[in-house]
Structure 1
Amino acid sequence: MALGATLDHERALKAGDPLPELWHWMYFWPLASTGELGVDGHPRKGTFLPDLGLPRRMWAGGRLRFDRLLEVGSSVSRTSTIEKVEEKAGRSGRLGFVTVKHRFADERGVAIEEEQDLVYRDAYAPGAPAPQPTAAPMDATWQREIAPTEAMLFRYSALTFNSHRIHYDKTYSINEEGYSNLVVHGPLIATLLIDLVQRHLPLAMVKAFSFRAVRPTLLGNAFFVCGEPGADGKSIELWARDHEGWLTMRARAEMD
């Protein structure tokens, strides 16, 4: 109910109901104590996630396979492994990429398999070149305007136990990470994209979902979540577009 209210899509869920896709991100928090947090608000690296000597870390994308939905009130376990660690050189400096695999299982077995792609970056350097933006498609069949607020970001951070300071500490976000405002969570945008599918196809079952962050979405302006159903009737291309028309996230849903 709390996430539905945050998305302006209230749902009356009861025990035994299927948990909507991506709502499992509200659970299985990394319960680091406050004293174990780094200066960015994340749990310090070097325990489960590796420390690559790169201070900034963000969720860059992921892939999910839904064999079935989890049920509200069921007992679920998560098994997590580090699948891959890579380091590369980019225009903005060193980059590290870590892929984490999660398996979510209940008494019937594995229900969801998920891969998360994390990107590690060097400390912010004023004047560093920004990536060239990509224009987003403007002719979506489905489109919803989202006006993010500090309250929305606070709620999503609270629901997912996300203490990364770029989502609530504007001074830190600007001075330490080089953004011009607070940053809208990538997983929140991904959730809004799959929520767009749920709004238009409430009875459909998503079997697979993938997403990739392309450009930060910042507080202060509205953005758009967009969808284009495929001619095959089984796939939907999804994307997020900022107020300037730039692509900020690309995603794809595959239906049963």
Structure 2
Amino acid sequence: MTDDLQSWIGRTRRVADEMATPLVRRMAALTDRSDVALDRGAVVPNHWLTMLFDDAQPQSQLGPDGHPSKGDFLPPVPLPRRMLGGRRLTYHAPVHVGDALERETAIAAITPKVGRSGAMIFVMLRHTITGPNGLLAVEEQDVAYLEAKRNAPAPPEKPAETPTAEWRDAWRPDPVVLFRFSALAFNGHRIHYDADYARDGEGYPALVVNGSVSTLFLFEALLRRNPGRQIASYEARTMQPVFCDRPAFLCADAPGADGARNLWVEKDDGAMAIRIKTRLT
């Protein structure tokens, strides 16, 4: 099924963007941050780069799920559903308000797998982000393509071992948070704002919380406890969806001897939904 897709490996695309003042102001509002300066040249939290470099494809080129149609830059994977399975990101320099930025994306690998819910294909994207003074960040994303929904639920997954939490904040993401982030990032994926489509089109019980939203709020909770610090690097893995208007917890353990620590979103049934290993500057 993937032999014809291998020829897509190595394809690249460049997108220009700007860390514009209105975007920084809106992200500060979304995260309840009053300590982020909006003056041109002011340092912006590194992890806010995730709101930039949207696809911005013409409306006529979107698929039924609200994503750009496959077969343009993304390979024509013959599976209908998609989600972000994981990401690894290292920041090399700070970003500032007003910086003109560029991201080069390369298709690094295409890998078929069989998961709990059937056939899957992972497309690894490697992003290289540069600014006025050179390299800013390098990121790898694992985009998972899944089979259409089934009537029978997937067999249960063995629960991940949950670390001992140093802190645990109650969190209940609501539709307004999901909408505002999707609007800010120009993310058209309907599972994050169209409840009827999420339920009837992809079989979810409610709106799905964007993995970038979970990551954003985990980092914000960590940085509130570490003022003046920045995220230096992180590895994230999505294990199961977080759903809108359901109680959850933002958690972290104590840093290890190497300075790394684990962050995770814990659902109300105790299951770990997303796990991040991160370091601070």
Question: Taking structure 2 as the reference length, what is the TM-score of the superposition?
Answer: 0.86
Match status 1:2 vs 2:33: no
- 5 Å-filtered alignment, 1:74-153, equals 74-132=99-157, 134=159, 137=162, 139-153=164-178
Match status 1:220 vs 2:245: yes
2:32, 2:102 → 1: CA distance? 29
Residue type at the aligned position of 1:156? F
Q: Secondary structure at the match of 1:229?
A: coil
Q: Secondary structure at the match of 2:99?
A: coil
1:236, 1:76 → 2: CA distance? 29
- 5 Å-filtered alignment, 1:52-63, equals 52-63=77-88
Asked whether the equivalents of residues 261 and 278 of structure 2 are also in contact (C-alpha less than 8 Å), the reply is: yes
1:10, 1:204 → 2: CA distance? 16
Q: Secondary structure at the match of 1:162?
A: coil
Match status 1:177 vs 2:237: no
Summarize the Cα distance change of 1:42–1:232 in structure 2 as closer, same or farther, 3 Å threshold.
Answer: same
Q: 224, 230, 234: which one pairs with 1:199?
A: 224
Q: Secondary structure at the match of 2:179?
A: helix
The aligned residue for residue 42 of structure 1 is 67
Asked whether the equivalents of residues 88 and 94 of structure 1 are also in contact (C-alpha less than 8 Å), the reply is: yes
Long gaps (5+) in structure 2: 1-24
1:206, 1:130 → 2: CA distance? 36
RMSD over equivalenced CA pairs, Å: 1.6
1:48, 1:102 → 2: CA distance? 14
CA deviation map 1:46-100 (0-9, x unaligned): 1111111011111111011111121111111111111111112223211000111
Summarize the Cα distance change of 1:81–1:135 in structure 2 as closer, same or farther, 3 Å threshold.
Answer: closer
Asked whether the equivalents of residues 69 and 112 of structure 1 are also in contact (C-alpha less than 8 Å), the reply is: no
Aligned identity (percent) is 32
CA deviation map 1:135-173 (0-9, x unaligned): 563741122222211111110110111111111111111
Asked whether the equivalents of residues 135 and 245 of structure 1 are also in contact (C-alpha less than 8 Å), the reply is: no
Summarize the Cα distance change of 1:138–1:228 in structure 2 as closer, same or farther, 3 Å threshold.
Answer: closer
Summarize the Cα distance change of 1:106–1:137 in structure 2 as closer, same or farther, 3 Å threshold.
Answer: same
Equivalent pairs counted in the alignment come to 256
Match status 1:65 vs 2:90: yes
Asked whether the equivalents of residues 136 and 241 of structure 1 are also in contact (C-alpha less than 8 Å), the reply is: no
What's the offset of the Cα at 1:184? 0.7
